[in-house]
Structure 1
Amino acid sequence: MSRLSIAELHKEVTSRGIVAQVSGMTLWRWLSEDAIRPWRYRSWIFPRDPAFSEKAARVLGLYEGFWDNQPLGPRDYVISADEKTSIQARKRKYCSQGPKPQQAMRIEHEYERKGAWAYLAAWDVKRAKIFGRCESKSGIAPFERLVRQVMSQEPYASAKRVFWIMDNGSSHRGERSIERLQAQWPTIIPVHLPIHASWLNQTVMRAITKEGTVRAAC
């Protein structure tokens, strides 16, 4: 029963003659009372990277302030970068009305679609500072613009080492990506996450919590 959907259970109880007719809400309530909730589930994934533990340990070590078992120095920085693609840029069709005494702010639900954008973000783990930009699409050039946005300003421009924690997205994976980044910014040390381990990237949660701001910015 725990593997059946509400619709399948509804069909089953009526076809068996258990009830002549029942609403989905009533069926939902019955299941809740019996602690059977087929609408609830947890996602999980098999670790696919054979070097998962080693790569994850490097990233967690940087978050803690260590690299190769040595503490990071005052001129070392840790950047966690990621891309949040396909953010729908929208504009309200009618202006929102501000709050009044005894009345909450009113937002008209209709909106106009203004296309889809990609939000690229870099999170400074040590300084708790986020850098972000909107691009029409993701790719090598947009990602390098994000890197330039961060690395061209202090304290990163004169830093001894800047560790960039990234996933294995097509715009910044592999040796060619490392060579390309270090050719422009010799102090960058790219650190790639294990495959299918974006949840180790601190930028993911920061970008999600700022999504409302991102939509407005785009």
Structure 2
Amino acid sequence: MIHLSRSACLVLPVAAAHPISLRAAERERLKKMAYGHKTEHRLRRRAQVVLHAARGRSNARIARETGLHLDTVRCWRGRFAERGLRGLNDRERSGRPQSFTSIQVTEAKALACRLPAESAVPLARWSCPELAAELTKRGITGDISASTVRRWLAEDALKPWQHRSWIFITDPDFRAKAQRVLDLYARTWQRQALGEDEYVISADEKTSIQARCRCHPTLASGQARAMRVNHSYGRGGALAYLAAYDVHAAKVFGRTEPRTGIAPFMNLVAQVMSTEPYASAKRVFWLVDNGSSHRGTKAADRLAAAFPNAVMVHTPVHASWLNQVEIYYSVVQRKIVSPNDFTDLAQVGDRLRAFEDRYNATAQPFQWKFTTSDLDDLLARLDRHTADHPEESSVTSTP
């Protein structure tokens, strides 16, 4: 019989650490994973283990330096040695068995793609809780949560609670009118390039800008606090803001008037056409929509009679989005009008004129990207739509 002394110890065999050798591409990828700010924490730690191992360090030392358990270090070092970078990802798990069938999911999506009115439900739009309740009511599913319905709809980017307005083209000469506008943006008129002494002006009116005097002063934003605007206000009247925008020079000419109309619009035209280089220009093209102040051939004749070198060009009906001055008006709405807090109309006018000077000092032409090719694609899509839905085109295509 062999007796062991107390000082004797039993040494168990320990598996040798897997040697790690990295290629340059692997090392670069692991460094991005280990030190990238957007890398998940678990992947960052696994990448750090592999980088330490590639330096020839033992598993015990890596565990001490990273604060991980020895078995965790051994696991990810071995996984990388076997499968490379793919080994650092989690293995697929079976997960919990599905509670709903694919048919139920399909029926839920089909219901979301129908208007509530078609199902005799007194709603304007579906929401996820409403869809969940309707699925249970119809017996399509059992009890189901709104989050589950939301997850199903997200798979196909379905958002029935959102809506967008649209309108069919009703102008029979839409393409010809739109092409004239787009050609002018590209400095072309009737297939001829514009000269250096020819200009394109986009003009319109922004009606009813109110002066709302808040009953309590507006408070500036502070730490963890948005700017505060009092809800109650006194009305100080309203005015119209007329603007003419030089498309290629990115220069704005504006004026305020008590109201819109033919006379205020012609005042704007005179303001622009009496200054250089427009006064002595060969031609100045005025792009306008079909508002009452400048509608039809009478307005074009009136403009030409007052200024022989001015040419009025109308956008198609219901196509003010082709008028670049509308982009400038959106800037004015965001930066000047909203939130509305003015003591009187004089302050509104002063603010608008000061903003014009500020804008003209740094403005660059808008990067207009909608071309005649895009116009043809748009019209082709609409033609296909009306061909698939003739009942809609028969209602809306009459000008």
Check whether TM > 0.5. yes
Cα distance in 2, alignment partners of residues 40 and 118 from structure 1: 33
More strand by share: 1
Residue 160 of structure 1: which of 278, 282, 301 is its match? 282
Q: Is the 8 A contact 1:96 1:105 kept in 2?
A: no
Cα distance in 2, alignment partners of residues 136 and 43 from structure 1: 31
Cα distance in 2, alignment partners of residues 126 and 187 from structure 1: 18
Q: What displacement does 1:103 show?
A: 6.4
Alignment of 1:43-54 (within 5 A): 43-54=165-176
Specify whether residues 11 and 90 from structure 1 end up closer, same or farther in structure 2 by C-alpha distance, changes over 3 A only. same
Percent identical across equivalent pairs? 48
Specify whether residues 197 and 89 from structure 1 end up closer, same or farther in structure 2 by C-alpha distance, changes over 3 A only. same
1:109 to 2:268 alignment: no
Specify whether residues 175 and 40 from structure 1 end up closer, same or farther in structure 2 by C-alpha distance, changes over 3 A only. same
Specify every segment of 5 or more residues in structure 1 that has no aligned partner in the other structure, as ranges: 19-25
Cα distance in 1, alignment partners of residues 220 and 278 from structure 2: 41
Aligned to 2:180, what secondary structure does the other structure show? Answer: helix
Alignment of 1:81-160 (within 5 A): 81-98=203-220, 102=223, 106-110=227-231, 111-160=233-282
1:32 to 2:32 alignment: no
Q: Is the 8 A contact 2:131 2:149 kept in 1?
A: no
Cα distance in 1, alignment partners of residues 227 and 172 from structure 2: 52
Deviation per CA, 1:90-113: give whole Å up to 9, x if none.
22333334466x466743323322
Instruction: Tell me which residue corresponds to 2:390.
Output: none
Q: Is the 8 A contact 2:218 2:230 kept in 1?
A: no
Instruction: Tell me which residue corresponds to 1:190.
Output: 312
Q: Which structure's relative contact order is higher, taking Cα pairs within 8 Å and 6+ residues apart?
A: 1
Specify whether residues 213 and 48 from structure 1 end up closer, same or farther in structure 2 by C-alpha distance, changes over 3 A only. same
Residue 133 of structure 2: which of 13, 19, 26 is its match? 13
The residue identity in structure 1 corresponding to 2:249 is: R
Cα distance in 2, alignment partners of residues 194 and 142 from structure 1: 23
Q: What displacement does 1:85 show?
A: 2.0
Aligned CA RMSD, in angstroms, stands at: 3.0
Residue 67 of structure 1: which of 182, 186, 189 is its match? 189
The residue identity in structure 2 corresponding to 1:34 is: W
Cα distance in 2, alignment partners of residues 30 and 77 from structure 1: 58
Specify whether residues 136 and 39 from structure 1 end up closer, same or farther in structure 2 by C-alpha distance, changes over 3 A only. farther
Deviation per CA, 1:22-65: give whole Å up to 9, x if none.
xxxx85x5553332422212332211111111111111000011
Aligned to 1:46, what secondary structure does the other structure show? Answer: coil
Q: Is the 8 A contact 2:132 2:149 kept in 1?
A: no
Q: Is the 8 A contact 2:245 2:325 kept in 1?
A: yes
Specify whether residues 41 and 161 from structure 1 end up closer, same or farther in structure 2 by C-alpha distance, changes over 3 A only. same
Q: Is the 8 A contact 2:239 2:256 kept in 1?
A: yes
Aligned to 1:50, what secondary structure does the other structure show? Answer: coil
Instruction: Tell me which residue corresponds to 1:79.
Output: 201
Cα distance in 2, alignment partners of residues 30 and 133 from structure 1: 55
Specify whether residues 32 and 173 from structure 1 end up closer, same or farther in structure 2 by C-alpha distance, changes over 3 A only. same
Cα distance in 2, alignment partners of residues 47 and 17 from structure 1: 40
Aligned to 1:171, what secondary structure does the other structure show? Answer: helix
More helix by share: 2
Deviation per CA, 1:127-167: give whole Å up to 9, x if none.
10112222222111111111112112111111111000011
